[in-house]
Amino acid sequence: MGSAPVPTGDELLKILGALGNPHRMRIIQALTGGRNYVSRLARDLGISRPLLHMHLQRLEAAGLVVGSLELSEDGKAMKFFEVTPFVYRLTPEAIAAAAASLTEAGAAAEPAPEATPRSRRRRAPEPDPPAAAEGPGTAPPDPVRPDAGQPDDADRPDPADAARAKRSVNP
């Protein structure tokens, strides 16, 4: 067995990131049987074509698969993908060498966990808009603080101050 290429740190992050998803591992598994076109691959794997394309792009960027556009006999464009031959040997020394070659861009490019693609993530429902203020200059109530919108104790006149002011005016 020949020696496996030693990827740079940035390449290793792309490779491991690409393989760090069950869908992408299944895509590699399906393509080890031979090249396939996107529509059939999506049906075989039971995932949508847009989702499959996203995963294939990630695998292609890591150099694990390669795609080619071909015309069918009826003139329809079909994108075929196949696995590129690869062998990576992960040893502590290989990882140390890869880590030593990391660039700032590669170190910062570590992706967030992919529970759901960003475009498909659910947003929290927007809170209902606050009721109209009761008068000019009145702040709307804050749903987190029920007393918000009311003058703070510091804004309220102190009864002792009012009594002192009255005494100084009327001796």
Residue 41: count other Cβ atoms within 10 Å of its Cβ. 21
Tell how many helices (H) and how many strands (E) occur in the chain.
Answer: 7, 3
- Residue 16, CA atoms < 13 Å, CB-side half-sphere: 16
Q: What is the pLDDT of residue 57?
A: 96
Q: What is the pLDDT of residue 113?
A: 47
Phi first, then psi, for residue 68 (nearest 5°) are -145, 140
Region 79-100: what's the mean pLDDT? Answer: 93
Contact (Cβ atoms closer than 8 angstroms) between residue 102 and residue 10:
yes
78-94 in b/e form (b: 16+ CB < 10 A) is ebbbebeeeeeeeeeeb
Alpha carbon distances (Å) from 60 to 11, 14, 55, 164: 12, 10, 9, 81
Q: What is the pLDDT of residue 103?
A: 87
Q: Of 37-41, 106-110, 130-134, which range is least confident?
A: 130-134
Work out the percent of the chain whose per-residue pLDDT is above 70: 59
Alpha carbon distances (Å) from 162 to 114, 159, 165, 169: 63, 5, 5, 11
- What's the CA gap between 41 and 48, in Å, rounded? 10
Over the Cα atoms of the chain, what is R_g?
A: 31
Q: What is the pLDDT of residue 163?
A: 57
pLDDT of 136 above 60: no
Q: What is the pLDDT of residue 133?
A: 47
31: nearest Cα among 103, 70, 85, 83: 83
Q: What is the pLDDT of residue 106?
A: 61
- Structural tokens at position 165: 């002011």
